[in-house]
Amino acid sequence: MNDQTLEKMKQLRLYGMSRAFNTTLEASNIDYTNDELIAYLINSEYDDRENRKVERLINTAKFRYKAFMEEIDF
């Protein structure tokens, strides 16, 4: 059943949720309530989408140089 669930998540393009669900299956010491598990999965998917969005926007911007906040002199 878990393999089917993971496959359906991938078909729905819920990659962050799929990774988080797989992590919870592998870690036997994590004991979530139903509400906590759903919140964890949704937050993981949200974070994954936001990270992919930022990466896509940075790549689309085609900056000449990679700049880091630490390198900026104020």
pLDDT per residue as tens digits for the range 19-68 = 999 999 888 788 889 999 999 999 999 999 999 999 999 999 988 888 78
Q: What is the pLDDT of residue 28?
A: 78
Q: What is the pLDDT of residue 64?
A: 87
Which residue in 68, 14, 61 sits closest to 41, CA to CA?
14
The Cα–Cα gap between 24 and 31 comes to 9
Structural contact between residues 16 and 48, judged by C-beta atoms closer than 8 angstroms: yes
Pick from 53, 8, 70, 74: nearest CA to 21: 8
Q: Percentages helix, strand, coil for the chain, rounded to the nearest 5? A: 70, 0, 30
Which pTM does this prediction carry?
A: 0.79
**Structure-model confidence comparison of residues 72 and 39, the more confident one:** 39
